[in-house]
Amino acid sequence: MKLFLDSANLEEIREVAGWGVLDGVTTNPSLCSKENASFEDNIRAICAVCPGPVSAECVSLEADEILVEARGLARLAPNIAVKIPVGLEGLKATKALHAEGIAVNMTLIFSAGQALLAAKAGARFVSPFIGRLDDVSEDGMALIEEIAQIFENYRFETEIIVASVRHPRHVIEAARIGADIATVPYGVMEKLVRHPLTDLGIERFLADWRKVKK
Ligand code: G3P
Protein backbone atom coordinates (compact mmCIF):
# COMPACT_ATOMS: atom_id res chain seq x y z
CA MET A 1 0.00 0.00 0.00
CA LYS A 2 1.18 3.50 -0.78
CA LEU A 3 1.38 6.05 2.03
CA PHE A 4 0.75 9.71 1.33
CA LEU A 5 1.22 12.48 3.88
CA ASP A 6 -1.91 14.59 4.41
CA SER A 7 -0.11 17.86 5.04
CA ALA A 8 0.97 21.13 3.44
CA ASN A 9 3.82 21.57 5.92
CA LEU A 10 7.18 21.33 4.19
CA GLU A 11 9.07 20.33 7.34
CA GLU A 12 6.72 17.42 8.01
CA ILE A 13 6.95 16.34 4.38
CA ARG A 14 10.78 16.47 4.42
CA GLU A 15 10.83 14.52 7.69
CA VAL A 16 8.60 11.68 6.43
CA ALA A 17 10.44 11.58 3.08
CA GLY A 18 13.57 10.97 5.17
CA TRP A 19 11.96 7.89 6.75
CA GLY A 20 11.80 6.34 3.27
CA VAL A 21 8.03 5.78 3.36
CA LEU A 22 6.62 8.76 1.47
CA ASP A 23 4.78 7.95 -1.77
CA GLY A 24 2.84 11.18 -2.21
CA VAL A 25 1.26 14.21 -0.53
CA THR A 26 -2.30 15.51 -0.30
CA THR A 27 -3.15 19.09 0.56
CA ASN A 28 -6.43 20.93 0.84
CA PRO A 29 -7.39 24.59 1.44
CA SER A 30 -7.65 24.04 5.22
CA LEU A 31 -4.14 22.53 5.40
CA CYS A 32 -2.70 25.26 3.13
CA SER A 33 -4.25 27.98 5.32
CA LYS A 34 -1.94 26.90 8.18
CA GLU A 35 1.25 27.65 6.20
CA ASN A 36 3.05 30.98 5.87
CA ALA A 37 4.43 30.58 2.34
CA SER A 38 2.32 31.61 -0.67
CA PHE A 39 0.13 28.78 -1.96
CA GLU A 40 1.93 28.32 -5.29
CA ASP A 41 5.44 28.59 -3.81
CA ASN A 42 4.54 26.06 -1.15
CA ILE A 43 3.07 23.57 -3.66
CA ARG A 44 6.16 23.91 -5.90
CA ALA A 45 8.44 23.29 -2.92
CA ILE A 46 6.41 20.24 -1.85
CA CYS A 47 6.60 18.84 -5.40
CA ALA A 48 10.39 19.21 -5.34
CA VAL A 49 10.66 17.23 -2.08
CA CYS A 50 8.13 14.52 -2.99
CA PRO A 51 8.58 12.82 -6.36
CA GLY A 52 5.17 11.08 -6.06
CA PRO A 53 1.79 12.69 -6.76
CA VAL A 54 1.08 15.93 -4.88
CA SER A 55 -2.58 16.92 -4.70
CA ALA A 56 -3.44 20.61 -4.95
CA GLU A 57 -7.09 21.58 -4.70
CA CYS A 58 -9.24 23.69 -7.01
CA VAL A 59 -11.71 26.06 -5.35
CA SER A 60 -13.77 26.96 -8.44
CA LEU A 61 -17.24 25.47 -8.68
CA GLU A 62 -18.15 25.81 -12.39
CA ALA A 63 -16.63 23.37 -14.89
CA ASP A 64 -15.11 26.07 -17.13
CA GLU A 65 -13.51 27.79 -14.17
CA ILE A 66 -12.34 24.51 -12.65
CA LEU A 67 -10.63 23.73 -15.98
CA VAL A 68 -8.73 27.03 -16.04
CA GLU A 69 -7.69 26.65 -12.40
CA ALA A 70 -6.72 22.98 -12.81
CA ARG A 71 -4.56 23.65 -15.88
CA GLY A 72 -2.79 26.40 -13.94
CA LEU A 73 -2.14 24.05 -11.00
CA ALA A 74 -0.91 21.30 -13.32
CA ARG A 75 1.67 23.71 -14.75
CA LEU A 76 3.26 24.17 -11.30
CA ALA A 77 5.05 20.79 -11.45
CA PRO A 78 4.90 17.53 -13.40
CA ASN A 79 3.76 15.52 -10.34
CA ILE A 80 0.65 17.58 -9.53
CA ALA A 81 -2.68 15.82 -9.15
CA VAL A 82 -5.52 18.31 -9.26
CA LYS A 83 -8.02 17.83 -6.45
CA ILE A 84 -11.62 18.54 -7.41
CA PRO A 85 -14.66 18.17 -5.13
CA VAL A 86 -17.15 15.63 -6.52
CA GLY A 87 -20.25 17.11 -8.19
CA LEU A 88 -21.75 17.54 -11.63
CA GLU A 89 -19.45 20.44 -12.57
CA GLY A 90 -16.45 18.56 -11.16
CA LEU A 91 -17.29 15.49 -13.23
CA LYS A 92 -17.45 17.55 -16.45
CA ALA A 93 -14.07 19.07 -15.67
CA THR A 94 -12.61 15.67 -14.78
CA LYS A 95 -13.62 14.21 -18.13
CA ALA A 96 -11.85 17.04 -19.98
CA LEU A 97 -8.75 16.97 -17.75
CA HIS A 98 -8.45 13.19 -18.14
CA ALA A 99 -8.46 13.67 -21.93
CA GLU A 100 -5.64 16.22 -21.51
CA GLY A 101 -3.59 13.79 -19.40
CA ILE A 102 -3.99 15.78 -16.16
CA ALA A 103 -4.39 13.58 -13.07
CA VAL A 104 -7.53 14.30 -11.04
CA ASN A 105 -8.04 13.40 -7.39
CA MET A 106 -11.80 13.58 -6.88
CA THR A 107 -12.30 14.59 -3.29
CA LEU A 108 -15.01 14.88 -0.61
CA ILE A 109 -16.32 11.43 -1.55
CA PHE A 110 -18.90 10.14 0.93
CA SER A 111 -20.73 7.46 -1.11
CA ALA A 112 -19.92 4.58 -3.45
CA GLY A 113 -22.10 6.17 -6.14
CA GLN A 114 -19.91 9.28 -6.10
CA ALA A 115 -16.79 7.11 -6.41
CA LEU A 116 -18.28 5.14 -9.31
CA LEU A 117 -19.10 8.31 -11.26
CA ALA A 118 -15.67 9.78 -10.52
CA ALA A 119 -13.98 6.64 -11.87
CA LYS A 120 -16.16 6.62 -14.98
CA ALA A 121 -15.35 10.29 -15.66
CA GLY A 122 -11.64 9.43 -15.59
CA ALA A 123 -10.43 10.42 -12.12
CA ARG A 124 -6.99 8.99 -11.37
CA PHE A 125 -7.80 8.95 -7.63
CA VAL A 126 -10.90 9.09 -5.43
CA SER A 127 -10.66 10.33 -1.85
CA PRO A 128 -13.36 8.95 0.47
CA PHE A 129 -13.26 10.79 3.84
CA ILE A 130 -13.65 8.01 6.36
CA GLY A 131 -13.07 9.94 9.60
CA ARG A 132 -15.81 12.43 8.80
CA LEU A 133 -18.23 9.53 8.16
CA ASP A 134 -17.25 7.94 11.49
CA ASP A 135 -17.86 11.36 13.10
CA VAL A 136 -21.55 11.20 12.08
CA SER A 137 -22.00 7.59 13.25
CA GLU A 138 -21.55 6.05 9.79
CA ASP A 139 -18.96 3.39 8.94
CA GLY A 140 -16.15 4.97 6.91
CA MET A 141 -14.27 1.72 6.42
CA ALA A 142 -17.41 -0.01 5.06
CA LEU A 143 -17.43 2.63 2.32
CA ILE A 144 -13.83 1.74 1.41
CA GLU A 145 -14.81 -1.95 1.13
CA GLU A 146 -17.76 -1.06 -1.09
CA ILE A 147 -15.70 1.11 -3.44
CA ALA A 148 -12.85 -1.43 -3.58
CA GLN A 149 -15.32 -4.16 -4.56
CA ILE A 150 -16.88 -2.02 -7.31
CA PHE A 151 -13.51 -0.97 -8.76
CA GLU A 152 -12.36 -4.61 -8.68
CA ASN A 153 -15.56 -5.84 -10.41
CA TYR A 154 -14.99 -3.54 -13.38
CA ARG A 155 -11.19 -3.30 -13.29
CA PHE A 156 -11.24 0.50 -12.89
CA GLU A 157 -7.71 1.89 -12.80
CA THR A 158 -8.80 4.68 -10.44
CA GLU A 159 -6.93 4.37 -7.13
CA ILE A 160 -8.62 4.72 -3.75
CA ILE A 161 -7.01 7.23 -1.38
CA VAL A 162 -8.33 6.57 2.12
CA ALA A 163 -8.59 10.12 3.49
CA SER A 164 -9.66 11.83 6.71
CA VAL A 165 -7.57 9.27 8.57
CA ARG A 166 -7.67 9.83 12.34
CA HIS A 167 -5.69 6.99 13.94
CA PRO A 168 -3.39 4.04 13.13
CA ARG A 169 -6.25 1.48 13.01
CA HIS A 170 -7.68 3.38 10.05
CA VAL A 171 -4.41 2.79 8.17
CA ILE A 172 -4.18 -0.87 9.15
CA GLU A 173 -7.81 -1.60 8.25
CA ALA A 174 -7.35 0.20 4.92
CA ALA A 175 -4.33 -2.01 4.20
CA ARG A 176 -6.26 -5.18 5.18
CA ILE A 177 -9.03 -4.25 2.74
CA GLY A 178 -6.45 -3.63 0.04
CA ALA A 179 -6.98 0.11 -0.49
CA ASP A 180 -4.33 1.48 -2.84
CA ILE A 181 -3.33 4.47 -0.72
CA ALA A 182 -3.89 5.98 2.72
CA THR A 183 -3.21 9.66 3.19
CA VAL A 184 -2.09 10.08 6.75
CA PRO A 185 -1.61 13.18 8.94
CA TYR A 186 1.88 13.56 10.44
CA GLY A 187 0.73 12.77 13.99
CA VAL A 188 -0.84 9.47 12.91
CA MET A 189 2.23 8.59 10.82
CA GLU A 190 4.36 8.97 13.98
CA LYS A 191 1.95 6.84 16.01
CA LEU A 192 2.22 4.07 13.41
CA VAL A 193 5.91 3.60 14.18
CA ARG A 194 5.72 3.80 17.98
CA HIS A 195 4.93 1.04 20.45
CA PRO A 196 5.49 1.20 24.24
CA LEU A 197 6.87 -2.36 24.25
CA THR A 198 9.47 -1.34 21.66
CA ASP A 199 10.56 1.56 23.91
CA LEU A 200 10.63 -0.73 26.95
CA GLY A 201 12.56 -3.36 25.02
CA ILE A 202 15.23 -0.84 23.98
CA GLU A 203 15.50 0.42 27.57
CA ARG A 204 16.02 -3.15 28.88
CA PHE A 205 18.55 -4.08 26.19
CA LEU A 206 20.55 -0.92 26.93
CA ALA A 207 20.46 -1.61 30.70
CA ASP A 208 21.64 -5.19 30.13
CA TRP A 209 24.29 -4.07 27.63
CA ARG A 210 25.89 -2.01 30.39
CA LYS A 211 26.37 -5.27 32.35
CA VAL A 212 28.08 -7.10 29.46
CA LYS A 213 31.86 -7.56 29.94
CA LYS A 214 33.73 -5.58 27.29
O1 G3P B 1 -7.42 14.23 3.09
C2 G3P B 1 -8.56 14.85 3.55
C3 G3P B 1 -8.36 15.22 4.96
O4 G3P B 1 -7.45 16.27 5.04
C5 G3P B 1 -9.57 15.56 5.72
O6 G3P B 1 -9.28 15.23 7.01
O7 G3P B 1 -9.42 15.27 9.42
O8 G3P B 1 -10.21 17.25 8.07
O9 G3P B 1 -11.51 15.12 8.09
P10 G3P B 1 -10.16 15.75 8.22
The pLDDT of residue 178: 95
Confidence band for 154, pLDDT divided at 50, 70 and 90: very high
Distance 30 CA to ligand 1 centre (A): 9
pLDDT digits (tens, 9 = 90+) for 104-144: 999 999 999 999 999 999 999 999 999 999 999 999 999 99
How many CB atoms are closer than 10 A to CB 42?
Answer: 19
Which atom, in ligand 1's list, is nearest to the CA of 135?
9
- Residue nearest ligand 1's atom 1 by CA: 163
The pLDDT of residue 150: 98
Half-sphere exposure of 32 (CA within 13 A, CB side): 20
Cα(110)–Cα(51) distance, rounded to whole angstroms? Answer: 29
The pLDDT of residue 105: 98
Cα(59)–Cα(6) distance, rounded to whole angstroms? Answer: 18
* Phi (first) and psi of residue 121, to 5 degrees: -75, -10
User: Does residue 2 carry a catalytic annotation?
Assistant: no
pLDDT digits (tens, 9 = 90+) for 204-213: 999 999 999 9
pLDDT digits (tens, 9 = 90+) for 45-72: 999 999 999 999 999 999 999 999 999 9
Helix or strand (DSSP H, E) at 5: strand 2-6
The pLDDT of residue 118: 98
pLDDT digits (tens, 9 = 90+) for 70-105: 999 999 999 999 999 999 999 999 999 999 999 999
Which atom, in ligand 1's list, is nearest to the CA of 131?
9
Among candidate residues 144, 140, 149, 94, the one with its CA nearest the CA of residue 117: 94
Distance 174 CA to ligand 1 centre (A): 15
pLDDT digits (tens, 9 = 90+) for 3-51: 999 999 999 999 999 999 999 999 999 999 999 999 999 999 999 999 9
Distance 160 CA to ligand 1 centre (A): 15
Q: How many residues does the chain have?
A: 214
Query: Which one of 110, 132, 181, 189 would you pick to mutate in the ligand 1 pocket, going by the greatest count of ligand atoms within 8 A of its CB?
Result: 132
Q: Are 132 and 164 in contact (CB under 8 A)?
A: yes
**% of the chain surpassing 90 pLDDT:** 100
**CB within 6 Å of ligand 1 — which residues?**
6, 26, 28, 127, 129, 131-132, 163-164, 183
Helix or strand (DSSP H, E) at 141: helix 140-153
The pLDDT of residue 184: 98
Which atom, in ligand 1's list, is nearest to the CA of 183?
1
Query: Which one of 5, 6, 107, 167 would you pick to mutate in the ligand 1 pocket, going by the greatest count of ligand atoms within 8 A of its CB?
Result: 6
Which atom, in ligand 1's list, is nearest to the CA of 132?
9
The pLDDT of residue 91: 98
Cα(154)–Cα(151) distance, rounded to whole angstroms? Answer: 5
Q: Are 12 and 187 in contact (CB under 8 A)?
A: no
Exactly one of 2, 34, 83, 95 is catalytic; which is it? 83
The pLDDT of residue 146: 98
pLDDT digits (tens, 9 = 90+) for 172-209: 999 999 999 999 999 999 999 999 999 999 999 999 99
